[in-house]
A and B are shown apart, each in its own frame.
Chain A
Amino acid sequence: MTPNAWIQILAFLVVLVALVKPLGAFMARVYEGQPCGLDKPLGFLERLTYRVAGIQPDQPMNWKTYAIAVLMFNLLGGLVVYALQRLQGFLPLNPEHLGAVSPDLAWNTAISFISNTNWQSYSGETTLSYLTQMLGLTVQNFVSAATGMAVLVALIRGIRGRQTDHIGNFWVDLVRSTLYILLPLSFVLALILVSQGVVQTLSPYKQVSLIQPVSYVQSTTNAAGKTMHQTVWVKHQVLPLGPAASQIAIKQLGTNGGGFFGVNSAHPFENPNPLSNFLEVLAILLIPAALCYTFGRMVGDTRQGWAILAAMLIIFVPLMIGCVWAEHSGNPKIAALGVNQQSSALMSGGNMEGKETRFGVTDSAIWAAVTTAASNGSVNSMHDSFTPLGGLVPMWLMELGEVIFGGVGSGLYGMLMFVIVAVFIAGLMVGRTPEYLGKKIEAFEMKMATICVLVPPALVLVTTAIACVTVMGTSAIANPGAHGFSEILYWASSTGNNNGSAFAGLSTNTPFYNIAGGILMWVSRYFLIVPTLALAGAFARKKQVPVSSGTLPTHDALFTGWLVATVVLIGALTFLPALALGPVVEYLHLWH
């Protein structure tokens, strides 16, 4: 690793942590209904929405009503995204005259975007009209993120509630998250991105003349069954355009990750230079990190939030450094072919297959770790071509359950499930009733937390097994040997934890992968949201237990370490055997 790699890692972490408190405090004000500054210019939109919708903003919901509202709103969103894709050929803002998307792909994409996964079996520029991108996908980029944040806030209200049925009003949490947090941040980021070269237009694709025309040989079979070869000259390049910057800003900020173009943030029109890259990668972790502070503020003890953020960083930073180190090490078999992979002032060096020159291996590896720690899943390099250990890092970060930062809202409520498990185990050790923030952890709470912790790994491992032993699963593999297994494991880990990044060699635009992936994304999102809300309801009904000498402090270094151990142990025990069959075998194969 070069000194510059260390400086870039440090710069990223310093800027991120510096923004946690200001943004976290701002979000706490938004959710507490306090004046936040933006309610002056945008408040009329909020009040108008409530009036037309017949919402009483000060009327809170019990957990069941809250859950029904979440599910109904998301179901409606899914239907609209599906319909837009199927009907786009008849709708406006389609300058390239793209036709209807196939039913299985449209189902996969609809679930993918409402569940904040943004797995993509398609390339945007060849499949979706500008209208579908804007009114279908950009909208879900906002509201799926806001849904995750709303569920987190409901859980926080449950934790601090005192013998009440109420955990807040979903519509208010949803509207305020969108209007006061996601929209202003996206607006600013989108304009900065355009200034750097990200496209933003409704014009059709642009054709340019090539400086040097290129030819290729086209083989066709004629009616007599004879193969004909014909040289075709290509004199033009068609540059896809579209309203990209506005979607890319929220795709990063809302941990969505669905690219406007097929190659996502590796496309120069989506991520034109290292500065845009820094802002995009920072935007991924910004809200998930700041929500830790919001949590602390809302439960009345900011140390609780810092402790959770510290636990996330303790797991994340070594893994990120490991990924950067692995990619800088390069590929021994390529070095043997007379290739220079040594990093210098004149080149990035390292494992450059599937990476862009302007980012080099450092920015590519930082992005890979960040996008999989968060459930973002956008990419600026191709994870399929990472070195075995460099590819293991993003895979395992997803398999930890998307709780190391994770999705906006969903990452922290997932982490709070691990906190409950950690508190419970600690309580068993010392023989006391476990409690967290004054709430006793009893059988029902443990059941809900266990569901949330164990459903995703079970889904991932079972689906990987099914795909590995069926032709419809294995026929999609692009790379031979252990790496082929890694491609399937990565796919299941990504969709089963709502991440959305891919080992993209796997050809997943098939009915099997589209349908199975849709089910994985749907279950791992909503089968976690409902138990989380049930837990919020159960907490809200409980009495507050006063702190005593027997209370386990949950804000100190000891507990932070304990939480780290819990997350890592569960993640390691569940996935080490599978990882050993994929990346570890490949590593041994390549280096020895």
Chain B
Amino acid sequence: MWSQCRPAVVVFVVLSAITGLAYPLLVTGIAAVAFPWQANGSIIKNSAGQAIGSRLIGQYFSEPGYFWPRPSATAPVPYCSYNGPLADCATASNSGPSNPALFAHVKRRVELLRAADPAEKGPVPVDLVTSSASGLDPDISPAAAFYQVNRVAKARGLPVAEVKNLVKQYCQGRDLGILGAPRVNVLSLNLALDRLSSAQAATGSKPR
């Protein structure tokens, strides 16, 4: 039995060095050269060079002039991706399908959306009232974006058709035509919306 001690220790040390140090460091090195933007979090910067978000991580919006993302169960605020050691942050509601708390949450959310845009009478797209798995979902469905167009256009004083066109530009189809689900990146859409508003303000064609 003791004859297996030396091989056990040596094989463990060698495989640890290969798979736990050489391999991740090699991948890190190649990534830093070939895909530096992706490897470091797909960070979006504004014109002043300040980091204002990640292309992949959602942010919370609640003002009527922005498109709203999906509900997020993170604490202490929605879309909190890290809040210090041992604080559970990125998380889901984990509500079971028959939990009364889930129904109450959906009901409140439906009422909130209806109150923000009383003219919109249709049923609410499901992704706009249910919490995502990560709490950081960057996307909403195109249906959920179109649902909000009237509210956003009214709050910004922009023509509805123009906002609708913007949403259409930012709709992403399924990958390779079949994979995943259609979606709109909320942060990108809202940044484009801000650019559209400031362009309108600059030409003075429409007051904000």
Contact = CB atoms under 8 A, between A and B. Distances in A.
A358 B93 CA distance: 18
B111 to A, nearest CB: 9
Given A126-B85, A199-B39, A340 B134 contact: no
Contacts of B35: 194-195
Contacts of B137: 268, 356-358
A481 B127 CA distance: 25
Interface string A255-288: 0000001110011110011110110000000000
Contact of A201 (B39, B131, B136): B39
B84 A126 contact: yes
B123 interface: yes
Contact of A347 (B50, B87, B141): B141
A355 B132 contact: yes
A314 interface: no
B16 interface: yes
Contact of B90 (A45, A191, A262): A262
B83 to A, nearest CB: 7
Contacts of A546: none
A212 B60 contact: yes
Interface string B20-59: 1101101110111011001111110000001111111111
B11 A49 contact: yes
Contacts, number: 423
Contacts of A385: 92-97, 102
B98 A590 contact: yes
A237 B57 contact: yes
A338 B110 contact: yes
Contact of B175 (A126, A143, A215, A275): A275
Contacts of B70: 357
A52 to B, nearest CB: 5
A272 B100 CA distance: 32
A567 to B, nearest CB: 28
Interface string A190-232: 1100111111111101111111101110100000000000001
Contacts of A11: 178
B116 interface: no
B183 interface: yes
Interface in B85-116: 85-100, 102-103, 106-107, 110
A355 B39 CA distance: 24
Contact of A241 (B40, B95, B142): B40
Interface residues of B, number: 115
A206 B51 contact: yes
A589 B130 CA distance: 21
A130 to B, nearest CB: 9
B187 A211 contact: yes
A268 B134 contact: yes
A551 interface: no
**Number of contact residues on A: which range applies?**
35 or more
B123 A339 contact: yes
Nearest to B105: A353
B97 A54 contact: no
Nearest to A385: B95
A125 B19 contact: no
B170 interface: no
Interface string B149-182: 0000000000000000000000000111011111
A438 interface: no
Given A126-B88, A347-B125, A134 B24 contact: yes
Given A65-B4, A194-B38, A208-B51, A344 B92 contact: no
Contacts of A345: 182
A354 B93 contact: yes
A99 B85 contact: yes
Contact of B139 (A350, A357, A478, A487): A357
B83 A72 contact: no
Interface in B168-208: 174-176, 178-183, 187, 190-191, 194
B133 A266 contact: yes
B94 A503 contact: yes
Contact of A126 (B60, B87, B143, B174): B87
Given A143-B15, A214-B62, A267-B136, 16 more contacts: A11-B178, A126-B88, A138-B24, A175-B15, A178-B19, A212-B62, A239-B82, A241-B40, A262-B88, A262-B90, A268-B54, A337-B106, A347-B182, A354-B95, A379-B133, A487-B96
**Which 6 pairs from chain A and chain B are nearest by CB?**
A274-B180, A360-B181, A347-B141, A505-B94, A483-B96, A266-B133
Interface of A: 4, 7-8, 11, 45, 48-49, 52-55, 65, 68-69, 72-73, 76-77, 80, 96-99, 123, 125-127, 134-136, 138-139, 141-143, 171, 174-175, 178-179, 183, 186-187, 190-191, 194-203, 205-212, 214-216, 218, 232, 234, 237-241, 243, 245-247, 250, 261-263, 266-269, 272-275, 277-278, 330-331, 333-334, 337-341, 344-360, 362-364, 379-382, 384-388, 391, 478-483, 486-487, 503-505, 586, 589-590
19 contacts: A68-B1, A76-B8, A126-B88, A199-B39, A208-B52, A208-B53, A210-B53, A210-B59, A212-B59, A241-B40, A261-B90, A268-B137, A274-B179, A334-B130, A351-B126, A353-B130, A385-B93, A479-B99, A504-B92
